[in-house]
């Protein structure tokens, strides 16, 4: 392991996306991450198609489990629980996303683990947190996007379409919770250096979703007006949305008055930048229903490529609305080496998207492809001191595979 977290041991008991995403980031940063799976494997291994060529695993699994070693254990059994407690005994971090109290009956909850390892940093991820009237309810990303307010501000305006609220195209509530988990875990590890003690992290998808509403929640808390769906437009900036060309749409992101003046020049309408309705951003936001159609009428007269060239040259922020095939063909994405091709121990080749972080001295660790279910079970059990005979006995009893 070469990353900045080399030497850190993480036991990842989590499934699906939020917890595994956190574990993958820690693995990319150099931590040893041991993924504990049921004998059937993580649920997302079957969330296909598409399937990874030469494998029974869905592509979904590969997006959040790079860099880990897989150990399949039935911890409903006493022997399985004993094995996991042995792993946790010298670990630094545990990540889990079971229902509130779900691990207590297996003596794998924080209070039980803390006795075994007082320095452990134990991160629990649930839909609604460990406390409150909804604590025991299951929480999935789509329902969290809905109940956490995101869908109410995502989708076309009511006067533009009857499509209604829409969720984001990826599970952003899960992903953001995973990223908050990474930050919280590292903060707890830094604090442990001072106190010598671990601690418990209670992280909820709903809390996270509300937390990252950012300017939208600030707009409501300060202004008292409930934000509405704006399509591709920005509630605080104008013009900042998709505009039509003769052959599609492109994104215009004018962030200040100088950029607006440059835009006006390129549109052949320099007088707009001195018009009191449009001269400042607050006035443009106020008069957006007048301004936006005026801009769209002009942009719809030329191909997208011409607008991208003409506007970017003078410093107006503008970009294409790419499909994923176009994203991965983008010269900048290729230059930044954002696609990884890794070979699993059984020879299966798996492509994943690289971690976007670039460290100057401690390069990221890409030593392991997303593992097959139980790929590392035997190796890990032997590292724990078990003999071939003991491993065979556990297998025959259905404790490991």
CA distances from 346 to 55, 350, 369, 400 (A): 10, 11, 11, 19
Q: What is the pLDDT of residues 268-318, one digit of tens each?
A: 999 999 999 999 999 999 999 999 999 999 999 999 999 999 999 999 999
What does the alpha-carbon distance between residue 296 and residue 306 come to, in Å, rounded to a whole number?
A: 15
Size (the chain), residues: 401
Q: Is 318 helix (H, G, I), strand (E, B) or coil?
A: strand
pLDDT given for residue 186 in this prediction: 98
- What residues are annotated to the active site? 174
What does the alpha-carbon distance between residue 281 and residue 19 come to, in Å, rounded to a whole number?
A: 41
CA distances from 81 to 34, 77, 110, 303, 397 (A): 15, 6, 14, 63, 14
Secondary structure of 148-187 in HEC code, one letter for each residue: CCCHHHCCCCCCCCCCCCCCCCCCHHHHHHHHHHHHHHHH
Q: What is the pLDDT of residues 109-159, one digit of tens each?
A: 999 999 999 999 999 999 999 999 999 999 999 999 999 999 999 999 988
pLDDT given for residue 1 in this prediction: 54
Q: What is the pLDDT of residues 336-395, one digit of tens each?
A: 999 999 999 999 999 999 999 999 999 999 999 999 999 999 999 999 999 999 999 999
Structural domains in the chain plus CATH codes: 9-212+334-397 (3.40.50.10540), 240-322 (3.30.1540.10)
Q: Is 8 helix (H, G, I), strand (E, B) or coil?
A: coil
Q: What's the mean per-residue pLDDT of the chain?
A: 97
Handedness of CA 326, 331, 333, 334 (dihedral sign): positive
User: pTM for this one?
Assistant: 0.94
The number of CA neighbours under 13 Å toward the Cβ of 240 is 16
What does the alpha-carbon distance between residue 34 and residue 26 come to, in Å, rounded to a whole number?
A: 11
pLDDT given for residue 45 in this prediction: 98
Percentage of the chain lying above the pLDDT 90 cut: 98
């Amino acid at each position: 392991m070469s990353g900045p977290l080399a030497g850190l041991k993480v036991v990842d008991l989590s499934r699906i996306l939020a917890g595994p995403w956190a574990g993958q980031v820690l693995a990319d940063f150099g931590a040893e991450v041991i993924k504990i799976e049921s004998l059937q494997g993580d649920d997302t291994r079957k969330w296909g198609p598409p399937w990874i060529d030469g494998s029974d695993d869905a592509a979904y699994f590969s997006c959040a489990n790079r860099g880990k070693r897989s150990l399949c254990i039935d911890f409903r059994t006493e022997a399985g629980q004993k094995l996991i407690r042995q792993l946790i005994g010298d670990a630094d971090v545990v990540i889990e996303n079971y229902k509130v109290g779900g691990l207590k009956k297996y003596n794998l909850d924080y209070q039980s683990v803390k006795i075994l390892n007082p320095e452990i940093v134990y991160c629990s991820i649930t839909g609604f947190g460990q406390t409150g009237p909804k604590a025991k309810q299951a929480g999935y990303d789509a329902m969290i996007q809905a109940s956490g307010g995101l869908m109410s501000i995502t989708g076309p305006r009511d006067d533009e379409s009857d499509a209604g609220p829409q969720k984001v195209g990826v599970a952003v509530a899960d992903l953001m919770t995973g990223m908050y988990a990474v930050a919280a875990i590292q903060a707890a590890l830094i604090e442990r250096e001072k106190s010598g003690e671990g601690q418990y992290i209670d992280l909820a998808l709903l809390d996270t979703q509300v937390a990252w509403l950012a300017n939208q929640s600030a707009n409501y808390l300060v202004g008292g007006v409930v934000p509405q769906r704006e399509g591709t437009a920005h509630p605080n900036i104008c013009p900042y949305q998709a505009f039509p060309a003769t052959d599609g749409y492109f994104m215009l992101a004018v962030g200040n008055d100088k950029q607006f003046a440059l835009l006006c020049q390129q549109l052949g309408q320099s007088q707009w930048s001195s018009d009191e309705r449009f001269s400042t951003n607050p006035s443009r936001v106020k008069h957006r229903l007048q301004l936006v159609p005026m801009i769209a009428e002009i942009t719809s007269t030329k191909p997208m490529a011409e607008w991208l060239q003409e506007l970017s040259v003078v410093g107006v922020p503008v970009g294409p609305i790419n499909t994923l095939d176009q994203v991965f063909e983008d010269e900048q994405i290729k230059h930044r080496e954002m696609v990884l091709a890794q070979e699993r121990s059984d020879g299966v080749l798996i492509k994943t998207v690289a971690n976007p972080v670039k460290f100057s001295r401690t390069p990221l660790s890409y030593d392991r492809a997303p593992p097959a279910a139980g790929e590392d079970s035997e190796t890990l059990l032997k590292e724990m001191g078990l003999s071939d005979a003991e491993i065979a006995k556990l297998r025959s009893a259905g404790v490991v595979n």
